[in-house]
Structure 1
Amino acid sequence: MKRGIINLNPSQLLILVFAVFISLGTILLKLPFATTESIRWIDALFTATSAMTVTGLVVVDTGTAYTLFGEIVIASLIQVGGLGIMSFAVLIYMMLGKKIGIKERLVVQQALNQTSLGGVIQLVKNLFIFSIIIEFIAMAFLSVRWVPELGWGKGLYNSFFHAISAFNNAGFALWPDSLMGYVGDPVVNIVITFLFIIGGIGFTVLSDLWYKKEFKKMSLHSKMMVVGTFVINIVAMLIIFVLEYSNPNTLGGLNSIGEKLWASYFQAVTPRTAGFNTLDIAGLEESTIFLFLLLMFIGAGSASTGGGIKLTTFLVILFSVITFLKGKENIVLGRRSISLTVVLRSLAISTIALFFICFAIFILNITEDAPFLMVVFEVISAFGTVGLSMGLTGSLTFIGKFVIIFIMFVGKLGPLTLAFSLANPEKAKVKYPNEEILTG
């Protein structure tokens, strides 16, 4: 048995470890003292998977269905899933003074989506230090808002839970309506969005920002993430503000222009795998829902707590198309060329992702009694590990829950990780002549 585990490739080992932790979380959440009332095994599995994959979709209300123990289990799964199981394993190894071999480094490289082994252990160290500091600072700021309202015990606990949930892009909230009660609250809006934007931009980018200081000295990946995140968030905010301004179910029902701006900003950044909401998602215009679908599919950054195909993957494909239309052969960004390998990997990620999404939509359209748009939204939200829903999650059938569990699992680990776990890629030893194929 030991030999079999050792012979697993990094992708297979990562999947196995994730499955083990989800199973453990399911058992803990099914314990009598973890819930206020008995829940089914499928619901415990769904919650454990949603927490471990930092998605945030829930079939039972987190704040009322689970006891303090159950909520702490959920928060622990979120932290482990968000920062990475193998990152915790490396930390334990270092604390025990054990040497971290090439096998462990390969798995950490796979878990953090790094292109090389160099610096992965230092990245893990920085990741933990930064995460703990940020979460405690955020907890302090949220406490200033929630302690006066909820009291010391509940105020501190809510601040602690939501700081972990937000930084790890999980979207789990202790209120049934998420954060709709704080739609115009500056403190909650700023702290929560800051947490999931920082968590979703990617740990390699944060490390680059910390050490390089100056933007021009940063890597091309970091520059693409910083500029891309800023542009896509601002554009999304303006579009949502315009589309929803007169909608009585969303912005139209708010009293002041300030609340409308806060709500537009929050809803613009939350589809990037965060999962919190301050407006009723089901009440959004269909055009806004379509924008959400695009944002959720794109997702956050590589080596982040978020999901989706990743922003850089989307940008590489976009610039590939622009380069082709211009009649050029090489993709050049910031005086740097993008290799064909990166382009092919981006296309593979997007294609496999679309395959899984289409498969899930097809099955749910058979098993669920729900509008097509609602089904599509649920599936893409699960794949992007976003956690937003138009109201379908709670009424999913048994098969529907299993499909969403699987899609959340794929979305967190990444479609390529799953593909590599099943395949055994080998470099071709023979090169064949080229031949043109008609396309378009």
Structure 2
Amino acid sequence: MSRKIDLPTQKEMNKLHHLQRLSFWSSISMPQRLTLGFLSVITVGTLLLLLPISYHTDNPHHFMNALFTATSAASVTGLTVVDTATHWTVFGQCVIIMLVEIGALGFMSFSVLLFTATKRRMDLRSKLMVQEVYNLQTLYDTQSVFGYVIKLSVIIQIVGAALLAPFMIHDFGWQRGLFFAVFHAISAFGNSGFSILPNGTSDYINQPIVLFILALLIVAGSLGFLVWRDLLWYYRTRRLTLHSKLALLMTGSLIFGGFILFEITESNLAFAHELSPVKSAFDTLFMSISYRTAGFTEFSFDQMAPATILLTIILMYIGGTPGSTAGGIKTTTLGVLILQTNAALRGKKDVTFAHRRLPHENIVRALLLVFVSLVFLATLSFLLLISEGKSETYGLEYIIFEVVSAFATAGLSLGLTPHLSTFGQLIIMLAMFIGRVGIYTVMFSILNVHEEAAQYRYPEESVIIG
């Protein structure tokens, strides 16, 4: 007699699949989750940009256009292979700016927003992911802190859009002007450099107030949410963390130093564009702020001196502050290396700043980040030289500039990106992806590194250096 077998119901099957997904999600490391989450955002963005409603049908459009643009927007870079203003419809431009918003604040911030909106408490794993994204030292009050961060970000962008609106409404009418104001407020705060103005921000080269508003939004985004939290809570605590002190010092120094150096290297630009001394100073200040992190530009790089291009590469490589919308190796990394060099030259064992001693792990992490990033940039530049180096128009400086711009998510271009081969575009997309997710996160995702305490130590022996 055959035995009757009870097959699982659809409800039971759905529950089983849900448990399997949870099991997979629990089995992967925190960096792997962050990497997969970011890839998911790019995938959804690519699919949306492939829809006929996203682009003008009279323009040639293919998969790589959508994938490259989605990667650039989600990584808040701003490099493009097609013109954002003319290739994409309003719907496509809305998709791009939403990807910029998600990329700028981080998809984990939107998870925090979801938890807050549904009045649910974040579990430990979600808090750990937020801590990983924003380099938090502790898990204390993670949900409320980042609910606060999102509110602050939205307020800054609304104020920025309101300040830009009168100028853009005057130039483009109510409907387009208001949309342009919102788009560029989000783009500037996100340090993405995407523009849908007919000629980019060069349309406002003679309106310093517009450039000043954009510059303030760029600085607000590149400072980092943790620095903003310290500044806004200063009235309560009456103190700033060491991180905020170093970040503010380095940011101010880079803006001022960049301003002085750009004034020297581009002293002829003001005469070429018939700018008054005040307008020229505003434009140079905007260059110092935007070129390092955002990628908005008022001048064509064809007009600029080689010294300006080299200075721009250096500033892009440094980038913004950790936990911000900007890329690069970060201002605090440079600060730590300067402090370490100063201590070594003075024969001091401890690296100190603002009456505090920096832990050895900070110095090792800074050195590792610089070394690995330089190896990564050299490797990508070498690959691009192989695939694109046959061109007589684009030399070594074009390759290095484009790779650093992509890795630092700065978005500036010497004009090479639209002419890259498919392989070249994939290389730039890899640089943008790793630049935004973080080189540590990607390395640990691939290697699945787990810190282990050593049970023994080998004998010490010196080698000759230099």
Q: How far apart are 1:366 and its partner, in Å?
A: 1.2
Partner of 1:433: 459
Question: Match of 1:145?
Answer: 167
Kindly name which structure, 1 or 2, has the bigger radius of gyration based on alpha carbons: 2
Residue 409 (structure 2) pairs with residue 389 (structure 1): no
Aligned to 1:348: 368
Confirm or deny: 8 A CA contact 1:32 1:38 kept in the other structure: no
Residue in structure 1 matching 2:275, options 214, 231, 255: 255
| Number of corresponding residues | 438
2:207 corresponds, among 185, 194, 203, to: 185
Name which of 8, 29, 35 aligns with 1:15.
Answer: 35
Alignment of 1:17-416 (within 5 A): 17-36=37-56, 37-175=59-197, 177-213=199-235, 217-247=239-269, 252-368=272-388, 369=391, 370-416=394-440
The letter of the residue matching 2:396 is: F
Identity %: 34
Unaligned runs of 5+ in 2: 1-19
Provide runs of 4+ in structure 1 moved above 6 Å.
none
CA distance in 2, matches of 1:125, 1:304: 16
What is the Cα deviation at residue 354 of structure 1? Answer: 1.0
Counterpart Cα distance in 1 of 2:274 and 2:79:
26
| Cα deviation code 1:85-127 (max 9, x no counterpart) | 0110121122223221111111111112223322432321111
Q: 1:337 to 1:48 in 2, by over 3 A?
A: same
Secondary structure of 2:357's aligned partner:
strand
1:138 CA displacement: 0.8
SS at match of 2:291: coil
2:461 counterpart letter in structure 1: E
Show CA shifts across 1:222-270 (max 9, x none): 11111211121011111111211125xx763333222221211111111
* Contact 1:5–1:13 (Cα < 8 Å) also in 2: yes
Q: In 2, Cα distance between the equivalents of 1:178 and 1:189?
A: 12
CA contact (8 A) 1:352 1:416 kept: no
* 1:329-380 CA-partner distances (Å, limit 9, x unpaired): 0001010001100001111111111121111100111111221101110000
Q: Could you say what the CA RMSD is over the residues aligned between the two structures, in angstroms?
A: 1.5
Instruction: Say if 2:54 and 2:91, in contact at 8 Å, map to a contact too.
Output: yes
In structure 2, what is the Cα distance between the partners aligned to 1:271 and 1:214?
A: 35
Q: Between 107-116 and 157-166, report the one with greater CA deviation.
A: 107-116
Contact between 2:45 and 2:95, CA under 8 Å: does it hold in 1? yes
Q: Is the 8 A contact 1:48 1:74 kept in 2?
A: yes
- 1:57/1:382 contact within 8 Å kept: yes
Distance (whole Å) between structure 1 residues aligned to residue 254 and residue 123 of structure 2: 40
8 Å CA contact retained: 2:208, 2:283: no
TM-score by length of 2: 0.91
Task: Please report the TM-score for the alignment, with normalisation by the length of structure 1.
Answer: 0.96
The alpha-carbon distance between structure 1 residues 162 and 251, as it changes in their structure 2 partners (threshold 3 A), is farther
- Please give the alpha-carbon distance, in whole angstroms, between the structure 2 residues aligned to 1:216 and 1:364: 50
Contact kept? 1:379, 1:407, Cα under 8 Å: yes
CA deviations on 1:317-338 (whole Å, 9 max, x unpaired) are: 1111111111110001010001
List runs of 5+ in structure 1 lacking aligned partners: none
**Alpha-carbon contact 1:317-1:347 (below 8 Å) kept:** yes
Structure 1 Cα separation of the partners of residues 145 and 271 of structure 2: 41
Greater Cα offset, 332-341 or 350-359: 350-359
Give me the whole-angstrom Cα distance separating, in 1, the residues matched to 2:258 and 2:53: 43
Whether the 8 Å CA contact 1:251–1:263 is kept in 2: the answer is no
Whether 2:439 is the aligned partner of 1:419: answer no
How far apart, CA to CA, are the structure 2 residues paired with 1:239 and 1:189? 19
